[in-house]
Amino acid sequence: MKPNRKPAKQQPIQPKAPKKPARPMIALKKKNYAVMGVGIVTIIAGFISLSTGSITLAPILLVLGYCVIIPVSLLIK
């Protein structure tokens, strides 16, 4: 005779959650925000200059604001 044993319940295997990749944190300080503010003011001045019809000053201000000042404000430590 065979004993009437029920097979032991197996715990379901739970998949491990994938590890989230480490995301670098950008810590901005007052200096960064001040330089970013200058960049935003430069961009606004460029659009105002563009609306008045300036075809030389407006592009200079816009390129300076978007391509120089804003990236510098993010890179300053």
* Residue spans of alpha helices (H) in 7-76: 30-52, 57-63, 70-75
pLDDT in tens, 59-72: 999 999 999 999 99
Distance of CA 44 to the CA centre of its chain: 22
State which amino acid sits at residue 54: S
**Which pTM value belongs to this model?**
0.67
Tell me the mean pLDDT in the region 4-31: 77
Tell me the mean pLDDT in the region 23-30: 82
How confident is residue 7, by pLDDT bands cut at 50, 70 and 90?
A: low
Long-range contacts of 5-13 (CB under 8 A, 24+ apart): none
pLDDT, residue 42, reads 98
